[in-house]
Amino acid sequence: MITRGALGLIFALVACQAPDGSSGGSAAPDSLGAARDTASRAPARGQERAPPVDTTGGSRLPSERRDAWLRSAFLPSTATPADIVERFGEPDRRTATPTANRHVPGQTDSIVTLEYDRGLRLELYSVAGGRDLLREAEVTAPGILESDVVDVGVAWAVITRRMGQPQGRRGGMPYYLCGSCMGAEEPVFFAVEDGVVRRIRFSYYVD
């Protein structure tokens, strides 16, 4: 026979049980468990994800972007005919025009012109019995230079915003010079029509 006191004890034990059968007094609130999970997934101090790196050169000064472009956009002055063919393939046309050597009386050198139908013309000074020196290159179509940010077909306002104002004009064409380069000046000229670059001409020093 169950006494009144024993029956009260049984009711008390049943009341302390959670609906799933676990002890109600030892269960942690759901919000506390969620906080623990969030804390366990959070990165440790010093391991936070770094912000994305700006690879566009936006933090550079215009003069730095200008010089970087002038150094890398096209062929260097030391490029040989073999370098030109390696990069652009055989030209569609090649012509040679005789010219007198300014330093050696009686010596005839040549101005060699290489033309590519896709929008590129190069001139080399070919010394008789000597080297071929890159003298000029003119680009008249996009996709030939290493950069598509400063290129034929780009708005002039975009270029001046990126590289600053040109250092001067010659023959009505603005030009840029590399301010941090050593040696003779080798201006790069831009032909601008209706606010858009139509041609870019690279000039190289040849004495």
Q: What is the pLDDT of residues 127-139, one digit of tens each?
A: 999 999 999 999 9
Q: Residue 150 has which token pair?
A: 């400063």
* pTM score above 0.75: no
**Per-residue pLDDT at 183:** 85
Locate all alpha helices (DSSP H) within the chain, ordered by sequence: 4-15, 30-41, 62-72, 81-88, 156-163
Structure tokens at 133: 């020196």
Tokens of 108: 């005839």
Which residues partner with 199 through β-bridges?
191
**Domain locations in the chain as residue ranges:** 62-203
What the block records as the tokens of 15 is 């009341």
Segment among 13-27, 49-63, 83-97, 137-151 with least mean pLDDT: 13-27
Q: In whole angstroms, give the CA distance from residue 85 to residue 35.
A: 66
For the stretch 189-207, pLDDT in tens is 999 999 999 999 999 999 8
Burial 155-166 (b: 16+ CB within 10 A, else e): ebeebbebbbeb
Return the DSSP state at 143: T
